[in-house]
Structure 1
């Protein structure tokens, strides 16, 4: 079964970094590790006005923007 890490909305910071909106992994532990790494990267490298959270939805991991800076978040 495939597991996905999904960035719910790609803001301009994510686009500048060239992040993919969806990444696919072969197993759940790998997907979780990748999601945590990506979340940490986003929190540490983006403009600093974003706040993100990681939630599990149907065995996939979604990184959602809790608050933003108005920098152009798009679905």
Structure 2
């Protein structure tokens, strides 16, 4: 059975503070996609707001990445 993953490309300090894992695995693609959408919404609504995130599908996996990188200087500052 092939697993489908939700992968957080970079764990910013907000993600680390929340105790987020970098990879979460699911048995079916639809469940993984739903989880990625929920995680993206949580990140955009609950984090500090200095970053924006999006989801990219790569080989039946869902990668949550930062848009435009980070220009905050240091993740330790927030």
Whether the TM-score (by the shorter chain) exceeds 0.5 is yes
Change (3 A) 1:40 1:70: farther
Partner of 1:72: 75
Unpaired segments ≥5 residues, structure 2 = none
* Deviation, structure 1 residue 49: 1.2
How many residues align? The count is: 73
Residue in structure 2 matched with residue 35 of structure 1 by the alignment? 36
Partner SS state of residue 49, structure 1: coil
Task: Tell me the TM-score normalized by structure 1.
Answer: 0.91
Structure 2 equivalent of residue 4 of structure 1: 5
- More relative contact order in 1 or in 2 (CA 8 Å, sep 6+)? 1
Consecutive unaligned residues of structure 1, counting only runs of 5 or more, are none
- Greater shift, 64-73 or 32-41, is seen at 64-73
After the TM superposition, which segments of 4 or more aligned residues of structure 1 sit over 6 Å from their partners? none
Structure with the greater alpha carbon radius of gyration: 2
What is the CA–CA distance in structure 2 between the aligned matches of 1:70 and 1:36, rounded to whole Å?
28
Report the counterpart of residue 52 of structure 2 in structure 1.
51
- After superposition, the CA RMSD in angstroms is 1.4
The alpha carbon displacement at 1:71 in A equals: 4.0
